[in-house]
Amino acid sequence: MRKKPRYRRRLAAPRQRARRSPERGLLRGYAKVDHSDGRSELEIELKYFDGQPVIREISRVSKPGRRVYVAVRNLPRVNNGLGVSILSTPKGVMADHDAREANVGGELLCTVF
């Protein structure tokens, strides 16, 4: 008999400069947590729908051994526009639809569906 997969509802990540609200309904929310030893973290709450995680697949595209750069006209559409590509651009880290609006390309970090 197969066990039911266990999903994480929350996770913690080292705090970096977060300027945006959760993108396209993939995250339920996040909060900054300051610890007594001086470090701070982001506590990220993942979004679920009918007991299943909204984020089905995350794939890393650009890796330390092979960087992938794309021009704005060559930005990939993830699952026909249902997913999101995350880019590091000269104007900061942004989703593919924001990069198209700002007319900038950059390093393709990952795709989320």
Q: Are 37 and 60 part of one and the same domain?
A: no
Q: Are 78 and 61 part of one and the same domain?
A: yes
Q: Name the least confident of 41-50, 54-63, 83-92.
A: 41-50
For 57, the 3-state DSSP assignment is coil
Using the predicted structure, report yes or no on whether residue 23 has a pLDDT greater than 60. Answer: no
Q: Which residue has the tokens 């569906």?
A: 113
Range of 111's domain? 56-113
The angle formed by the CA atoms of residues 45, 67 and 69, to the nearest 5 degrees, is 90
Task: Report, as an integer, the average pLDDT of 68-84.
Answer: 91
Q: Are 101 and 61 part of one and the same domain?
A: yes
Q: For the chain, what is the domain count? A: 2
Tokens of 80: 């026909």
Q: Is the pLDDT higher at 52 or at 91?
A: 91
Q: Are 38 and 68 part of one and the same domain?
A: no
Tokens of 109: 């970090």
Q: Is the pLDDT higher at 28 or at 112?
A: 112
Q: Are 89 and 111 part of one and the same domain?
A: yes
CA distance 29 to 104: 27
Q: Which residue has the tokens 């699952």?
A: 79
pTM of the model: 0.67
- Most confident among 9-18, 33-42, 45-54, 84-93 (mean pLDDT): 84-93
Contact, 84 vs 96, CB < 8 A?
Answer: yes
